[in-house]
A = this chain, B = another copy of it.
Amino acid sequence: MRLDREQIVAAALRLLDEVGVDGLTMRVLADALKIQAPSLYWHFKNKQSLLEAMADALIAPVARAVPPGSWAEQVSFIAWELRAALRSRRDGARVFAGTFSINDNVIRTADHLIGVLMAAGLPRQKAAWGALTVTYFVLGFTIEEQGAYEPGGSEGVALAARREEFTRFIGDRYPHVAACIPDIFDGDQDARFRLGLEMQVAGLKVLSSAS
């Protein structure tokens, strides 16, 4: 009957899908757990550390087992897994980005990434920095991707409204952006991610050949 940290984190992640990160307050979470808000402070020293535990749980599945293949395939595999993990909950990417936390799961992911790049022949520093760069890409992409669709339940409507406002704002002052509106708004997110990821991998390749 008594709660432990694991159950609280699980409930918090479930709630995240319902209310989003801005709606996830200590009182709302306590209500869902049928306890009082101050009780949460017995398990977590503050809200930030609860969010860190949530971020940790969120990316727990990432880079557990990387299948054999070229280094480019392995980097891509981890990047796809990371995006999938962040997308698995509403506002997942924002929750993760908000915690600069050092936890097992994030380190394991970094370790895999750096290891793959070093095995590919990158010098240590370039492997480390290259791994960080790929991670920033995945995180930035996913934050934006989740931000575009989220505000309220009726996603399609909100997106259409945003597109119209955007089109009106552009007018004819910014011809390049205007021409790209279909790409920005209809774009297949998976295809867009694939292209961005190809850019990162190509960049890593150049880093390795320039040694």
Contacts and interface: CB of A to CB of B under 8 A. Distances in A.
B207 A111 contact: no
A133 B177 contact: no
Nearest to A140: B136
In this complex, which of A107, A127, A170, A175 has the most chain B Cβ atoms within 10 angstroms of its Cβ? A107
Contacts of A135: 140
Nearest to A191: B129
A60 B175 CA distance: 19
Interface stretch (A3-11, A27-35, A37-45, A194-202): A194-202
A136 B203 contact: no
A167 to B, nearest CB: 10
A65 interface: no
A179 interface: yes
Given A124-B180, A124-B183, A133 B207 contact: no
Interface string A141-154: 10110011000000
16 contacts: A97-B143, A102-B166, A102-B169, A110-B174, A110-B176, A126-B195, A129-B195, A130-B199, A132-B144, A132-B184, A133-B195, A136-B136, A136-B144, A137-B140, A198-B206, A201-B203
Interface of A: 97, 100, 102, 107-108, 110-111, 114-115, 118, 124-130, 132-133, 135-137, 139-141, 143-144, 147-148, 165-166, 169-170, 174-177, 179-180, 183-184, 187, 192, 195-196, 198-207
